[in-house]
Structure 1
Amino acid sequence: MVQEHGQSEPSERIAKLDPSVQVTVRDHVHRILRATIIGGKFAPDEKINERQLAEQFGVSTTPIKEALRQLESEGLVEALPRRGVIIRFNMGWAEEMILARAALESMIGHLAAKRISDDACQALQATVRLMEAATSSGNADELIALNETFHDQIHRASRCDYLARLIERQQFYDASIRRIIHSDPAERERALAEHRAIAEAIVARNSDGAERCMRDHVVRSGDIYLSIVFGNKEEK
């Protein structure tokens, strides 16, 4: 069931953690809660109920508090006196994340075109061929995995460890949103064409072209994300 403004019922938002991953429970809580927030399942300014979250995750409140402190350092939530923890993620914040990621990814693409090895070129081209096959079959899960592989290969080729770490805070997709995007055949074809153009520019050592293609790809993908998560709602 979905509440008003497209927000999910609290009980539908969080899946209990597998007991086998309890050794890193804080990191798992942070990762899942971050994806939940960025996926638009909490409304801007909504108050977080720590005890309710602990019940939904199947953990104590300690890792919830630790994860929320980490999310506060990222600016996604804010702890206010007498009000508790409030969601600060909104459409404006999401737009800034997309622009920040576009800037970082485009520079990584630029440097990858300058630094990529011949072996890495072949691996990148092989990934594109796999993406072509997955696009034709409409296999969303495979496309999601290949998309991650594609960008990881470019990150490694660029040898930009610092920029790659910065990008971690600009991740605005989760698997559910990616599946929605890849369910559209036209969107699958557009994404494939963009990935192919990025790869071709990098393999050709065309750093300016790689930078431009990567930036355009991230910005356009971000616009799709905004339309899914926020629709046509304007910031109040």
Structure 2
Amino acid sequence: MHERLRRAIVAGRFRDGERLNERHLAEMLGVSTTPVKDAMRRLESEGLVRTEARRGVFVEFSARQALEMALGRAALESVMTHIAANRVTDTDIAEIGRLIEEMAHATQHSALEDLVTLNEAYHGAIHRISGCTYLERRLDGQRMYDHAQRIALLSEPSERGQGFEEHRAVFEALKAHEPALAEQRMRAHIVRSAKAHVRQVFGADAEGLDYDE
């Protein structure tokens, strides 16, 4: 229940500021109001809804918030990639190389679920190699957004191809032990993906935001 509602919000099916009626949601989803209430509490802890006394529960997910979350991720993960490029071993390179090969196959065959899983394994491997456990914990709070973003973006054929090429480019920089280049490529990949997702979900509402890197 929580995951379904979270994906719906991040995918833009509920708009920023929209009131969520627990009874109507329960009827629509064919459940009692208890799991809906539980889901609302979790969504509020994630910053995706807010509760106003005597008024109800409202969606809190705007184009600006989505972009800010992605820019925060880009800042943290690009630093981790820089550090990983200094620490990466031959064994690590072989591991990520296998992931790249599997991603190429999944991209070619439009295997969306496999791509999402491989995408997360790829980023997770870089996090592990970096050894930056503190920075990784800072990313934990928005993993739900990152996951939902990947599902939405990778459903687009053009995005699958471009995303794969960007992942391969980061891998080449890691393999060459070029930390500055790896950092720059990871940041550019995350920011570009974020812009694409914000436009995909919010359309005209995304116009006018500052997209400068």
CA RMSD of superposed structures (Å): 2.2
Match of residue 223 from structure 1:
195
Q: Map residues 1-20 of structure 1 onto 2, 5 A cutoff.
A: none
Any idea what the Cα deviations from partners look like across 1:89-128, whole Å, max 9, x if unmatched?
1111111111111112112212222223321111001111
Please give the alpha-carbon distance, in whole angstroms, between the structure 1 residues aligned to 2:114 and 2:101: 13
- Structure 1 position 93 matched with structure 2 position 65: yes
Call closer, same or farther: CA 1:116–1:57 in 2, change over 3 Å.
farther
Q: Map residues 54-133 of structure 1 onto 2, 5 A cutoff.
A: 54-133=26-105
Q: Give the paired residue count.
A: 205
The TM-score, its normalising length taken from structure 2, stands at 0.85
Q: CA deviation at 1:58?
A: 4.3
Residue 169 of structure 1 aligns to which amino acid in structure 2? G
- Looking at both structures, which has the greater relative contact order when contacts are Cα pairs under 8 Å and sequence separation is at least 6? 2
Q: Which ranges of structure 1 fall in alignment gaps of 5 or more residues?
A: 1-28
Call closer, same or farther: CA 1:165–1:66 in 2, change over 3 Å.
farther
Residue 153 of structure 2 aligns to which amino acid in structure 1? R
Match of residue 2 from structure 2:
30
Match of residue 178 from structure 1:
153
Q: CA deviation at 1:45?
A: 0.9
- Structure 1 position 164 matched with structure 2 position 145: no
Partner of residue 119 from structure 2, selected from 147, 152, 171: 147
Q: Is the 8 Å Cα contact of residues 174 and 182 (structure 2) preserved in structure 1?
A: yes
Moved more, 144-153 or 35-44: 144-153
Q: Map residues 187-206 of structure 1 onto 2, 5 A cutoff.
A: 187-206=159-178
Q: CA deviation at 1:213?
A: 0.8
Q: Is the 8 Å Cα contact of residues 38 and 173 (structure 1) preserved in structure 2?
A: no
Please give the alpha-carbon distance, in whole angstroms, between the structure 2 residues aligned to 1:79 and 1:204: 50
Q: Which ranges of structure 2 fall in alignment gaps of 5 or more residues?
A: 209-213
Q: Is the 8 Å Cα contact of residues 173 and 225 (structure 1) preserved in structure 2?
A: no
The TM-score, its normalising length taken from structure 1, stands at 0.77
Please give the alpha-carbon distance, in whole angstroms, between the structure 2 residues aligned to 1:67 and 1:235: 31
SS of the aligned residue for 2:51 comes to strand
Q: Is the 8 Å Cα contact of residues 112 and 155 (structure 1) preserved in structure 2?
A: yes
Q: Is the 8 Å Cα contact of residues 94 and 172 (structure 1) preserved in structure 2?
A: no
Please give the alpha-carbon distance, in whole angstroms, between the structure 1 residues aligned to 2:162 and 2:105: 14
